[in-house]
Amino acid sequence: MANRVYTDLNKLRSETNDLIDRGRVRIHKHARESHPELSELEQVGVVRYGGPIKSDRDRGTASGVYVCWAHMPKHGLCRGVFCIEEGLGGDLVVIITAFKQS
């Protein structure tokens, strides 16, 4: 599946929140296994309630992978890495990883 690429990051924030609110979200295996300190609900919360979204500079803007940060009550500052995946059943937020920022 291909990732959607956004130039309007405000539109990306709006669409991300809408997809999460509709339950159109999946936690990638890497997020579950590599960062068990955050529950799946907390990982979704990092992306849903995170601040401004930026392109992931490690992957480049054409990858359609984005990052945001949120202050979580139990964990402090956390980083979320996600994409919007295009699929036959519609778009889906895929949370690649979310973790406590050191």
Q: What is the pLDDT of residues 51-100, one digit of tens each?
A: 999 999 888 888 999 999 999 999 999 999 999 999 888 999 999 999 99
Query: Residues 70-76: contacts with CB within 8 Å, 24+ apart?
Result: 70/45, 70/46, 72/38, 72/42, 72/45, 72/46, 72/100, 74/42, 75/37, 75/38, 75/42, 75/100, 76/100, 76/101
Reported as a pLDDT band with limits 50, 70 and 90, residue 102 is confident
Average pLDDT, the chain: 94
Confidence at residue 15, expressed as pLDDT on a 0 to 100 scale: 97
Q: What is the pLDDT of residue 80?
A: 96
9-100 to CATH, choices 3.90.320, 1.10.3470, 1.10.1740, 3.30.2310: 3.30.2310
Which pLDDT value is given to residue 90?
A: 93
| Higher per-residue pLDDT: 102 or 100 | 100
- The full set of domain ranges for the chain reads 9-100
**Can you give the pLDDT at residue 88?**
84
